[in-house]
Amino acid sequence: MSRPRAPFRIIFICTGNICRSPAAENMFREHARRAGILADVEIDSAGTGDWHEGEDPDHRSADALREAGYSVEGTARGLLPGDFVRHDLFVCMDRSHVRDVVARGAPRERVVLVRHFDEGRNHDDVPDPYYGGRDGFAAMIAMLESSMDGLVARVRSEISQQRGGA
């Protein structure tokens, strides 16, 4: 009898874990489902800070997700020391998150910017929409959406490598 395979663990990171990272988490969950890899991944999100610990996603982010056809799940939390050994891939929303996550102990080769999975991007960061209006949240969803296919391909490749190229 073979042992069950460990899931590939991916975590999305933003500042407070109420706008960008929970949106990316929910969007990736749906894209992983569509791609047939959902059973092989464990998906989470966290903030570099814990200011919003225990809160639901920002209502504007939740509204933008629903308008784009995604479900809304999640409760805000800050990064924990165990996250740095537990997760296989840290997907950051901007360069400040990359610096923070690496400085706190994540292996640099496992830390990426979500926008790097969008070949048509004109910049690397997903700007924080928190202090703006609805347009910023719609732009956030569009940026994340354009990164999902590339990210799914990366995760599918990582899963295949974990399984010895199967």
Domain boundaries, the chain: 8-156
Looking only at Cα atoms, what is the longest distance across the chain?
55
Cα–Cα nearest to 41, from 11, 13, 7: 7
pTM: 0.95
Q: Where are the beta strands (DSSP E) in 8-161?
A: 8-14, 41-47, 89-92, 111-113
Q: Enter the DSSP assignment of 116.
A: G
Catalytic residue among 63, 124, 128, 149: 128
CB-side exposure of 120: number of CA atoms within 13 Å?
A: 8
Q: Please, what CATH class does the domain formed by 8-156 belong to?
A: alpha beta
**Active-site annotation holds for 58:** no
Q: Model confidence over 57-112: pLDDT tens digits?
A: 999 999 999 999 999 999 999 999 999 999 999 999 999 999 999 999 999 999 99
- 40 tagged catalytic: no
- Active-site residue, 149 included: no
